[in-house]
């Protein structure tokens, strides 16, 4: 075994010292693997960033009630008598009440609105959320970054920081056409980069009036005494109405909605990366076959001197793995420099535009690098076998 290791190290060193003679083709192999790694890392970082934006949205201490058995806000409808029944209940609901004994709650609706600015022919579909004023206090981690909150009954909107930064026309004091009426931007809010920052917030009654949604309530948000109180709330409301109700925490609502889009992004990313990996694997095979042909006489000499077949195989295979490792390292570094923190948007919650940042995390880099290494390991196997037959 010790002899095999020494022989492998000697032949590997000779292989690496001969790389300058094959600089162009070796570099092309590493760069092709780097490109595959970058493509996969780009798609995975998009999926990861989307997941992080949604999973960081909401609070486990806030319950969300949806009607009609759906977990989509735009498809939900809670009858007014259900809202009144919940507010009138005096039994233990596991909910926080204010000094007047009223539930800390917010009735809300979400209306997809098309926003067009001068020079923008296609426009963008955004989420306009109508809420009670108490809805602002129910958003943990949300702070006012500019201006002031919307006033009750007025056609004023609060705009998420990410939306205000990336889309023109949402400065404080600007007037924006939403639906058939004009709305004034009263302020901006920060939500730590969560999905909230891709929404427009306004007074519930103003949104109802502006979009002919009189009396409509899609979701009811309630402050829980603790995250564990969600079970108490479900039990207490099990017989409040014949209308199917979905009762979940705010964090679970958004986390559950992240999976579909993230899986779709990966569904596009993996096949494309694997298809490119086939091409890169063919390049690795060609590179290493050229390496074996270039060193045919050297391999024959060392074999004559007593070096074994396994040493010839291992040294050639290690060269392929090292070249793929270099390519994977280049791809990972370039992915992090180009993609990490890059602003992107897609159709997200409630079928409206959602903005997020690509996240090149450790698991993303590891997955992409492993694919790069696999290309070299598989592509270098056949040339390594060929090296054992040189005498």
What is the reported pLDDT for 218?
92
Per-residue tokens: 130? 């109508």
d(CA 236, CA 250): 19
Query: For the residues 110-120, what does the mean pLDDT come to?
Result: 77
Q: Is the per-residue pLDDT at 277 higher than 70?
A: yes
pLDDT band at 267 (very low <50, low <70, confident <90, very high): confident
Buried-state track 294-324, b at ≥16 Cβ within 10 A, e below 16: ebeeebeebbeeebeeebbbbbbbbbbbbbb
Which of 386, 269, 390, 372 has its CA nearest to residue 325?
A: 372
Dihedral of CA atoms 219, 223, 227, 231 in degrees, nearest 10, equals -60
Q: How far is residue 224's CA from residue 53's CA, in Å, rounded to a whole number? A: 23
Closest C-alpha to 266, from 57, 51, 72, 53:
51
Percent pLDDT > 90 in the chain is 21
| % of the chain residues with pLDDT over 70 | 91
The pLDDT of residue 43 is above 80: yes
pLDDT at 14 over 80: no
């Amino acid at each position: 075994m010790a002899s095999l290791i020494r022989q492998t190290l000697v032949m590997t060193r000779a292989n690496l010292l001969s790389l300058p003679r094959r600089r162009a083709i070796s570099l092309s192999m590493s760069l092709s693997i780097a490109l595959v790694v970058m493509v996969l890392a780009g798609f995975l970082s998009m999926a990861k960033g989307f997941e992080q934006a949604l999973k960081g949205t909401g609070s486990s201490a806030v319950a969300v009630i949806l009607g009609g058995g759906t977990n989509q806000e735009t498809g939900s409808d809670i009858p007014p008598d259900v809202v009144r029944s919940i507010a009138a209940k005096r039994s233990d609901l596991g909910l926080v009440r204010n000094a007047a004994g009223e539930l800390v709650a917010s009735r809300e609706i979400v209306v997809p609105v098309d926003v067009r600015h001068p020079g923008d022919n296609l426009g963008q579909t955004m989420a306009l959320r109508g809420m009670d004023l108490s809805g602002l206090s129910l958003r943990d981690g949300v702070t006012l970054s500019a201006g002031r909150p919307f006033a009750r009954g007025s056609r004023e909107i609060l705009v998420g920081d990410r939306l205000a930064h990336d889309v023109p026309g949402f400065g404080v004091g600007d007037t924006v056409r939403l639906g058939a009426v004009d709305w004034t931007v009263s302020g901006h809010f920060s939500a730590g980069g969560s999905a909230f920052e891709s929404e427009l917030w306004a007074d519930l009654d103003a949104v109802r009036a502006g979009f002919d949604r009189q009396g409509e309530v899609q979701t009811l948000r309630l402050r829980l005494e603790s995250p564990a109180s969600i079970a108490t709330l479900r039990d207490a409301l099990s017989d409040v109405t014949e209308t199917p109700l979905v009762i979940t925490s705010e964090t679970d609502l958004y986390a559950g909605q992240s999976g579909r889009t993230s899986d779709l992004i990966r569904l596009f990313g993996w096949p494309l990366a694997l298809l490119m990996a086939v091409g890169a694997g063919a390049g690795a095979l060609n590179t290493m076959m050229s390496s074996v042909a270039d060193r045919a006489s050297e391999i024959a000499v060392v074999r004559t001197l007593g070096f074994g077949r396994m040493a010839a195989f291992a040294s050639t295979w290690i060269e392929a793995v090292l070249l793929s490792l270099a390519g994977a390292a280049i791809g990972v570094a370039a992915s992090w420099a180009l993609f990490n923190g890059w602003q992107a948007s897609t159709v997200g919650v409630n079928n409206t535009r959602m903005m997020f940042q690509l996240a090149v995390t450790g698991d993303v880099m590891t997955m992409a690098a492993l694919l790069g290494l696999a290309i070299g390991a598989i592509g270098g196997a056949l040339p390594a076998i060929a090296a054992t037959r040189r005498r």
